[in-house]
Amino acid sequence: MTRDKTEVFVYGAGVSGLIAAYYLNKKKLKVSIVDPFNEPVLQTHIKKEGLIEWAANSLLMNLESKELLDNIGLEYINYSEAGKKKFFYRSGELCRWPLNFIESLQLIPFFFKILFFKKYLKPKQNVTLKNWSLKHLPEAFYERVFKRGLQGVYGPNIDKLSSNLVLKPFLDQRKSKSLGSVSFKSGMQELPKKLKDYLTKNGVIFLKQEPVGKKAIRVVSTPAHSLPSCVDNKAKEILEKVMYHNISIVTFFVNEDSKMPFSGFGAVFEDEPGVLGLILNSELFENRASEGLSSETWIVDGTILKDESNAIDSIQALRHKMIGKESDVTAHYYKNWERAFPVYDIKLENALKELEVSKDLFYFANWTGSLGIGKLIAKGKSFSEEVCRSNNISVNE
Ligand SMILES: Cc1cc2nc3c(=O)[nH]c(=O)nc-3n(C[C@H](O)[C@H](O)[C@H](O)COP(=O)(O)OP(=O)(O)OC[C@H]3O[C@@H](n4cnc5c(N)ncnc54)[C@H](O)[C@@H]3O)c2cc1C
């Protein structure tokens, strides 16, 4: 097939679709993005008290993301120094490391394996993260460090996650190098905005509907629960099994004298039903709140804290415990995502194994193995090469 005649329709104009389109456009293919709804999860809203994010607060940078941002001309801002400090909150205590000396010593065999016997750590198929961890790590480390850290990224029910999907990228020798987390001056929404501008300038067309009867390659970058008609019933049945987390995001703007008594990225929680994590936005990036205010984002499990008043009351009670007094809250903003992001569990692992790609239908989304935006970008180039190779198009740009 010749490059200039090859037409590609990418379904979904969220970051996944934009990233897929960016790399396919770099291969000089004729790309259109089809999205009848325009409902991406990545949204920044500016309120009079400051900036709020409804999904990603930052992007974990790697070389591929740096190259993409430089190429589209989007300036990024790094976390402040404080962002390197992460905290655990357990039994009413805040700490940097929740294990005692003896429990910490029990980690030595694990580090030994990482250094000399990494292949024995490779997760096997259909093994939950919990079972993998109990085989290789002290239980206390899994329960208090590993599980808590991951719940801020992968949501609740960490025990059920697939070790293969979650750990493989970390243990992979070829994993892309992490360069720390970044955001943008006016928030994360600058990324899709600037990508759209770049793609439009480079000939990518944005459509509400695909024109009828076109011979084309199709890339599905929609959520697994909202598939376009180019996906056949067999694939739809497989993808119906992909579960999604119900997550709520609550941004609090508090007066300076009510801000958290610690400085850092934020905290993850144990023994606080429904509360998963806290991100101290004002500590991480400048200008996240207006003069005299401090901004923080709470991530909660929407199946436990079922509505806005439930979530606000629990956070207020927890704040009271943490700062030792009633909070002086100027405003709070609540957003519930009934289906925020996919559950990276064994069901998803099996769905991805069963799913067949053909030379004219591909999948590139946050349920195909990379939940975070940095990882999606890191995979974009090899994805576009796979599309070209399957269609006998030279991969050289
Ligand atoms: C609360 C929360 C916090 C997060 N925190 C982080 C973080 O800190 N860092 C990080 O890297 N990631 C984070 N993520 C993950 C990241 O934001 C998402 O994985 C990513 O934005 C998902 O993008 P997407 O394009 O795959 O999906 P979406 O944003 O859901 O976009 C899908 C698009 O497809 C369209 N669509 C739906 N159905 C169809 C159809 N049938 N045909 C055509 N189009 C269709 C929709 O309108 C939408 O525009 C977070 C996510 C959430 C929800």
Could you tell me the domains of the chain?
3-77+182-242+343-390 (3.50.50.60), 100-178 (no CATH), 246-337 (3.90.660.20)
CA–centroid distance, 231 to ligand 1, in Å, is: 19
Q: Which atom of ligand 1 is nearest the CA belonging to 373?
A: 11
Closest CA to 314 of 273, 374, 367: 273
CA–centroid distance, 366 to ligand 1, in Å, is: 7
User: In the chain, how many H helices and how many E strands?
Assistant: 15, 17
Q: Which atom of ligand 1 is nearest the CA belonging to 41?
A: 29
Q: Which residues contact 143 (CB under 8 A, 6 or more apart)?
A: 270
CA–centroid distance, 10 to ligand 1, in Å, is: 14
CA–centroid distance, 367 to ligand 1, in Å, is: 10
Q: Which atom of ligand 1 is nearest the CA belonging to 337?
A: 53
Q: Is 11 in the pocket of ligand 1 (CB under 6 A)?
A: yes
Q: Is 337 in the pocket of ligand 1 (CB under 6 A)?
A: yes
Q: Is 42 in the pocket of ligand 1 (CB under 6 A)?
A: yes
- Reduced to 3 states (helix: H, G, I; strand: E, B; else coil), residue 312 is helix
Alpha-carbon span 183 to 282, nearest angstrom: 13
pTM of the model: 0.96
- Residue labelled with tokens 């991969």: 395
Alpha-carbon span 48 to 251, nearest angstrom: 13
Q: Is 187 in the pocket of ligand 1 (CB under 6 A)?
A: no
One digit per residue, the tens of pLDDT, for the chain of length 397 reads 566 678 999 999 999 999 999 999 999 999 999 999 999 999 999 999 999 999 999 999 999 999 999 999 999 999 888 888 999 999 999 999 999 999 999 999 999 888 888 888 999 999 999 999 999 999 999 999 999 999 988 999 899 999 999 998 777 655 667 788 999 999 999 999 999 999 999 999 999 998 888 889 999 999 999 999 999 999 999 999 999 999 999 999 999 999 999 999 999 999 999 999 999 999 999 999 999 999 999 999 999 999 999 999 999 999 999 999 999 999 999 999 999 999 999 999 999 999 988 999 999 999 999 999 999 999 999 999 999 999 999 877 6
